[in-house]
Structure 1
C-alpha cells in the first residue's frame, strides 16, 4: 500500500461556498488541516493545495478547480484528496469530467476522509454519489422557490427587510415576518416625509438625519 501511495501524486482540494447547502460543511481551514493530517498519516504525496470559496452548482464557475483538472490531464498529478466527493462537484458536467478521468485511469485515486475511489472498482459508486449531490441541489432549489412563492402569496417580503425594518429572527421557519425597527423606523419615516415635500435634496436629508 505504501508503495502505491508513493506513485500517486495528489492535489488537495478544499471548497466551501456561502450558500445554504454548505452551511454544515467544515470551514476551508478545517478541511485543509484534517486532510493534511490524513496525508501525513497515510504518507500521501501532496503536490499542491487548492482552496476555493465558490459554488459548485454550475460548471465553469471555479477557476481553481478547472486549473486542477487541467493539470491532472497533463499528468502533473493523478490523485485528488478532498473532504467529501461533493466538494468536487454538485453538477453533472464537472461530475462527468471527474468520473471520466477516474474511469480512464488518469486519476488513480480520489481519497476522502471516509473512503477512496479507485478506477478498478469505485467508478460506479462515484457516479451514484455525484448524482446524489447534484439531486440535492435540484431539490434544495425547488424547496427554496416554493418557500418564496408561499411568502409572496401571503403578502410577505421574501428577502432582507428594507431600511427601517428588521427580519423576525425568532418566528417559525417559513412564517417569519418583517417587523418595524424600533431604533430606525421613525428616522426613516421622517426622511421619506421630507423627500415627499419636494423641498429637500437627498444630500440635505442625509445631513439632517
Structure 2
C-alpha cells in the first residue's frame, strides 16, 4: 500500500516545527502499518478554512492518477476545517480509490466510525470559528483603545511595546509636507521624488512609488482615525495632517 502525507500550518501560532512534527507522526504510523510513503504535500502558512492551498489542490488532482492509495494527515483539521470542504474532498478521494487516515484520530469502520469522524470534523470547524471570533474581538478592542490592530504599520508613526501609536519625529513631518505639497499643486511624481530623496521608505522597505504615495495620501489615520471592519474611532491616535488639509487633498485626488 502506498501513501502520501499532507501537512499544513497556518499563522495560528504555528511554525515550521509543526510541519516536522506532523510528518514525523505520519511517518511513524506508516512504518508501523507497513505503508510506503512516496511523497509529502506541504502547505506553509495556509489556513484550512479555505481551499486555496496549492499543495492540497495538487494532491487532490494527483489522487486521480492512481499514484497512491492513502492520504495520511496528523489530524482531520489539517485536511479541512469545515464540514462542506471535508465531505467534498473526501468524496473526490473516495471516487479516486484513495482513503483518508488521521493518524492521531483512529476511526473504526462502520456506522460508529462515521459518527466519530463527523464529531471530529464538527469540533475542527467549531475551533476555527471560535478562533476567528476571538481574533476579531481582540482587534476590535484594539481599535477602540487606539492601539495597533495589525498590518504593516503606517509611515509617520512608531508603535510602542503596548501597541500604542506615537509620532515618528523623522517621518511624520515629511508626511505632513507631502500633503502640503500636493495641496499646493505638486504632481504625484514630484511627491514621490521628494519622499525618496528624503530617504522615506514604504513599510516593506522599498522606495516610494505612485501607488504607495496615493495610498498614503488617502490614509485616514493621519487625521487620527483608527478603524477595523465597520468600526471607526475618531481621535484615536496622534494627528499628523489637519482635517481641512486632508479634505482638500481628497478633493484633488478625486478629480
TM-score scaled by structure 2?
0.60
- The question of 1:190 aligning with 2:173 is answered yes
Partner Cα distance (1:202, 1:94) in 2: 46
The aligned residue for residue 65 of structure 1 is 56
| Partner-residue secondary structure (3-state), 1:116 | coil
Residue 163 of structure 1, aligned match among 155, 159, 164: 155
* Residue 141 in structure 1 maps to residue 132 in structure 2: yes
Matching of residue 207 in structure 1 with residue 197 in structure 2: yes
Describe the superposition over 1:41-71 as per-residue Cα deviations: whole angstroms up to 9, x where unpaired.
4432223221122221023x12432332344
Question: For residues 75 and 109 of structure 1, do their structure 2 counterparts lie closer, same or farther at Cα, with a shift above 3 Å needed?
Answer: same
> Which structure is higher in RCO with an 8 Å CA cutoff and minimum separation 6?
1
Deviation, structure 1 residue 107 = 4.4
Residue 9, structure 1, aligned to residue 35, structure 2? no
Stretches of structure 2 that go unaligned for 5 or more consecutive residues are 200-255
Distance 1:75 1:89 in 2: 22
Q: TM-score, normalised by structure 1?
A: 0.71
SS at match of 2:81: coil
Q: Structure 1: 5+ residue runs without aligned partners? A: 1-7, 172-176
2:90 touches 2:100 (CA, 8 Å); kept in 1? Answer: no
Runs of 4+ in 1 over 4 A off after TM superposition: 98-109
- What is the alpha-carbon distance in structure 1 between the residues aligned to residue 193 and residue 8 of structure 2? 43
Alignment counterpart, residue 19 of structure 2, candidates 28, 31, 35:
28
The CA RMSD measured in Å over matched residues stands at 3.3
- For 1:33-48, what aligned pairs fall within 5 Å after superposition? 33-48=24-39
Q: Distance in 2 between matches of 1:98 and 1:125?
A: 18
